[in-house]
Amino acid sequence: MTPLPQRTGVLVIGGGPVGLVVSGLLARHGVANVVVERRRETQRAPAAHVLRRRSLDVLALLGVDDEVRRAAPHLPLDFITWCTTLGGAEVGRLDLRPRDPHTGRRGPEPWTNCPQNLLEPILLRHVSGRRETRVVRGAECVALEQTDAVVSARVRRDDGSESCVTAAWVIAADGASSPTRRALGIPMEGQGALGRFLMVHFAADLSPWIRARPGPLFWIHNPESPACLIVHDPQRSHVLMMPVDGSADPTAAVPERLAAALGVPVRPEILSVDAWSPHVQVAARYRRGRVFLVGDAAHRFPPTGGLGLNTGIQEACVLANALAQVETGGAEQTRLDTYEAACRPVAAANAAASFANLERLGEISRQLGTWPTLASLERRLASLTTAEQRALAAAIEAQRGHFLCDGPVPEALGTASPGSPCGAC
């Protein structure tokens, strides 16, 4: 069992990607820190998977960017596809293949498709190898008390034992439901649950139906099983996002709904089923006293655009730099006031962009109309007039910014050009 020190510079509550990134950046600046994470194991389901270029710049500061790129499954990010089922009629596709305007050759990919269950172990290995950091798993913070000078945290192990850690600062990276945020009394502002969905992680070789149109997303418009297929590894790992159907036990019909959405002769192995709800919310404050919010603890976006994790990684960079300047650089504590000022407006803008992306997707369904069965939808597709085909193609083209826009970034990060070290760190 990893011992828990009695004192540290910074206590990081939550050992997901954002918590581990902020810990690694603090260690890079020589700031001692402790990470407590209630899970014994790293993330199993793929979860977040889009890493934008600015996030890779931050990971480069930790020296793990090349390892992340190597870990990402080989999947060209060529197309976003809309179809009736994976094996059925194609509604249309968006061509994202990057081209150099001068040479016509393929340029850099718009993002790195590295799911969280591959990213998190890489970050954990890196952080665990730093002498400035202690990672304690199977432990959670159950109470905080702060004075003008320190924060005292009561940490409970999964064996029931408790101990106290005194830290100069605390960073809450404990996820969308953030017990720390709730304990601080910081409300979320914005729209609550926009619906209820099931995230079905399954194993299957779908490469025969993906090979000719490689890409990470297939929007499935089957009226009998609407869904979004997220391809993490064409031969092995996928996630199907499907709306909860309102039945007493929505998970009972998952195998049948999965088969209907795919429409291909495979027998998928269901690995996990989790329910979740998208929100469009940002914390009213990013700080209370010596405690800061970061990542999903500070904001909750719909996944449309893949901006949530990336916003959190950028926040981690800005916050770690500010704390390091105070702890080791002799800066006044007022330097920490710049964190919320720099990052909260960006989170609000990215929340709005994620919601706009979600709304814009609905235009494709409106173009197709409402049909009771898969057969009736496919007959409708076959009968589209030339004008209707053009309108549908325009609705698909209008999604381009959804998949290619990196979103705004904190001003300090924006001073660095893509591919260069982040200005804030």
* Domain extent for 208: 79-111+194-278+373-404
Nearby residues of 216 by Cβ (< 8 Å), 6 or more positions away:
49, 75, 77, 80, 113, 230, 231, 232
Are 141 and 51 contained in the same domain? yes
3-class DSSP assignment, residue 152: strand
CA distance linking residue 292 with residue 186, whole number of Å = 11
Are 54 and 165 contained in the same domain? yes
Write out the two tokens for 108.
Answer: 């850099």
Are 178 and 120 contained in the same domain? yes
Residue 314 in any domain: the answer is: yes
Are 40 and 154 contained in the same domain? yes
CATH classification at residue 119: 3.50.50.60
CATH classification at residue 100: 3.30.9.10
> Per residue of the chain (425 residues), what is the pLDDT tens digit?
788 999 999 999 999 999 999 999 999 999 999 999 999 999 999 989 999 989 999 999 999 999 999 999 888 889 999 999 999 999 999 998 876 667 767 667 778 999 999 999 999 999 999 999 999 999 999 999 999 999 999 999 999 999 999 999 999 999 999 999 999 999 999 998 899 999 999 999 999 999 999 999 999 999 999 999 999 999 999 999 999 987 778 899 999 999 999 999 999 999 999 999 999 999 999 999 999 999 999 999 999 989 999 999 999 999 999 999 999 988 999 999 999 999 999 999 999 999 999 999 999 999 999 999 999 999 999 999 999 999 999 999 999 988 887 778 887 664 333 333 344 44
CA distance linking residue 320 with residue 322, whole number of Å = 6
Q: What is the largest CA-CA distance in the chain?
A: 72
Residue 89 in any domain: the answer is: yes
Are 249 and 159 contained in the same domain? no
Residue 166 in any domain: the answer is: yes
Are 66 and 134 contained in the same domain? yes
The gap from C-alpha 400 to its chain's centroid, in whole angstroms, comes to: 19
Are 134 and 165 contained in the same domain? yes
User: Would you call 372 exposed, middle or buried from its count of C-beta atoms within 10 A (0-12, 13-18, 19+)?
Assistant: exposed
Are 293 and 251 contained in the same domain? no
Are 41 and 147 contained in the same domain? yes
The size of the chain, in residues, is 425
Number of domains in the chain: 2
CA distance linking residue 18 with residue 168, whole number of Å = 20
131: number of Cβ within 10 Å = 8
Are 253 and 149 contained in the same domain? no
Are 211 and 315 contained in the same domain? no
Are 119 and 207 contained in the same domain? no
Query: 243-250 long-range contacts, Cβ below 8 Å, gap at least 24?
Result: 243/195, 243/196, 243/197, 243/198, 244/195, 244/196, 244/197, 244/198, 244/275, 250/198, 250/275
Residue 164 in any domain: the answer is: yes
Nearby residues of 323 by Cβ (< 8 Å), 6 or more positions away:
10, 26, 31, 169, 336
